[in-house]
């Protein structure tokens, strides 16, 4: 999908003289050749980094899932793209992340692509959410063992997308339900695919005072109002 910026850039290039357009095209071809070299060398992470963190890497992995699977690169690519994306997937169907992380992925390969689990479990994990209905994905893929981090994300969603009722949910998760773990972003992130019926409890509703969007550095200073 072409972004507004890319469309504007293409229009601007088309307005330039032939020498400029030729140089731009040669640069694009060199960039694409470099990408293909990285992919051919199984350097999927470096390849995805060339796509940036706007969600394009995740789109590429999803669109080329069978190709990457045939090369043994799918799980590494999926985890890299998921953790590196700074965009939100709230417009995806609920079943799509579960399909790629659980049904199409090999769990052992996902675990190997991430960092070692911080123990044998079970793990007490938290998930920050906001909104109502489809926007309130209580049983989503990404969880954290950091209560402060979960609270930050609940507030971020509420602030960024103007969603009501930011809250934190809690679940005790056995090792067998963990698909991957990463602390690269200092978020103690666990990727899960919770089975139907697995218990998830409302841990805290954030007060009106807490709805102000905090910085991550303020994690330790946050307070919580336990759910009734």
Half-sphere exposure at residue 113, Cβ-oriented, CA atoms within 13 angstroms? 27
The residue-averaged pLDDT of 149-156 equals: 91
- pLDDT the model gives residue 206: 86
Of 50, 81, 107, which one is at a domain's C-terminal end? 107
Neighbours of 46 (CB within 10 A): 15
- pLDDT the model gives residue 209: 52
DSSP structure class, residue 101? I
Beta bridge partners of residue 124, listed in sequence order: 172
* 217 plus 136 within the same structural domain: yes
- pLDDT the model gives residue 5: 46
Look at residue 170 and tell me if it is in a domain: yes
- pLDDT the model gives residue 136: 83
> What confidence tens digit (pLDDT) does each residue in 83-104 have?
887 666 656 666 777 788 888 8
Of 107, 141, 167, which one is at a domain's C-terminal end? 107
Residue 226 clears pLDDT 60, i.e. is over it: no
User: What's the total number of domains in the chain?
Assistant: 2
* 23 plus 98 within the same structural domain: yes
Look at residue 226 and tell me if it is in a domain: no
């Amino acid at each position: 999908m072409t972004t507004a910026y890319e469309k504007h850039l293409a229009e601007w290039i088309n307005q330039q003289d032939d020498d400029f357009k030729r140089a731009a095209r040669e640069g694009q071809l060199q960039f694409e050749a470099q990408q293909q070299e990285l992919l051919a060398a199984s350097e999927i992470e470096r390849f995805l980094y060339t796509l940036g963190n706007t969600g394009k890497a995740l789109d590429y992995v999803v669109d080329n899932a069978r190709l990457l699977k045939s090369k043994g690169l799918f799980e590494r690519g999926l985890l890299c793209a998921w953790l590196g994306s700074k965009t939100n997937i709230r417009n995806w169907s609920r079943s799509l992340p579960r399909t790629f992380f659980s049904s199409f992925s090999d769990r052992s390969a996902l675990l190997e692509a991430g960092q070692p689990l911080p123990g044998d479990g079970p793990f007490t994990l938290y998930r920050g959410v906001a909104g109502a209905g489809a926007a309130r994905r209580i049983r989503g893929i990404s969880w954290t063992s950091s209560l402060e981090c979960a609270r930050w994300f609940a507030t971020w969603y509420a602030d960024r997308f103007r969603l009501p009722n930011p809250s934190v949910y809690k679940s005790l998760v056995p090792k067998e339900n963990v698909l991957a773990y990463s602390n690269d972003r200092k978020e103690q992130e666990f990727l899960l695919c919770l089975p139907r019926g697995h218990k998830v409890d409302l841990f805290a509703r954030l007060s009106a005072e807490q709805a102000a969007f905090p910085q991550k550095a303020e994690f330790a200073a946050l307070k919580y109002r336990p759910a009734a």
